[in-house]
Amino acid sequence: MSGRIVISLGIAWVLIGSCAFAGPSGANTVSSMARTEGHLPAAVAKNERTAIERARWTTNVSVSVSADTWTFRSDGIPESTFLASHYAVPSTPLDVSAAGASVIATSQVLRNQNYSLTLPTTPKYSSTTTPTALGPIGVMLDGAVLYNPYEANKATVATRDNFSVTANGTTASFLDSCDGHPGPGGMYHYHGLPDCLVQYATTGTVAQTTSVSSFSGTTTPPVAETNAAARKPVVLGFALDGYGIYDNIAMDGKIIKVASLDACNGIFSVVPGYPCK
């Protein structure tokens, strides 16, 4: 049997079944739903530990794994290649628009978060979905965190309401080309499928993240749903409930269709690194 579940982000929140299989999602925004309950077999817990330890964490991340839990530690500030040089920062988190927004250098807006988060080594599963809260719902390879789709007003979907501002000759966007940005308290986080992390997880290198310049009015194009470099699913991080977060590529190299996913953007499918015992 294979298993896996995800959140609605364009990446997968993975649940592994008795053969320890899990797979990626194809949505382009993070879901505001999650699952929690029900234990997995002990053999799966061992394989989940392997996935955690083998993940391509960047140097600002440290991971320690025990029998039942593991701890993610990071300053929360990705390396410079994962960040744009400037960001358009709204005057208030409740008004996500160019009106009153400022262009601020990344070095001035990001703050050390000193993350120390403990996650279960053995995820739990439930047939009941639970709305996610605002704030971190997962941890990513580059030390940053994952949010659900919404901004602080609980109405604005970040990846569909991007904008740019120009000040003193510098143009910056609200979300960068990797679907991330700084929030209140200088906390860098993602709202969509981070193509930069797919590149990094696949090849170990990443192109420089930049501001977004392609807009239709004040709305960005849909979040990218494919990455040509990804021939097989790659792990991009882990949700706080312990499930792996993958990109949207299946083992056959094809894109996972949104219609194939459940309410939490999840699916039971095969990913590398989880052989049946």
Residue 64 lies in a domain: yes
Report pTM.
0.81
Indicate the DSSP class of residue 254.
Answer: P
Residue 277 lies in a domain: no
pLDDT at 47: 58
| pLDDT greater than 70 at residue 6 | no
Residue 5 lies in a domain: no
90 neighbors 181 (Cβ within 8 angstroms): no
Lowest mean pLDDT among 58-67, 141-150, 173-182, 215-224: 215-224
* Residue predicted with more confidence, 127 or 106: 106
Residue 7 lies in a domain: no
pLDDT at 208: 95
- Residue range of the domain that includes 20: 12-260
The string of pLDDT tens digits covering residues 220-235 is: 444 454 555 557 788 9
Residue 142 lies in a domain: yes
Phi and psi at residue 43, to the nearest 5°: -60, -35
Helix (H, G, I), strand (E, B) or coil at 171: strand
Q: If you average pLDDT over residues 92-97, what whole number do you get?
A: 86
Residue 233 lies in a domain: yes
Domains in the chain: how many in total?
Answer: 1
pLDDT at 136: 93
Question: Which of 7-16, 26-35, 204-213, 230-239 reaches the highest mean pLDDT?
Answer: 204-213
Residue 223 lies in a domain: yes
How many Å separate Cα 234 from the centre of its chain? 12
Helix (H, G, I), strand (E, B) or coil at 172: strand
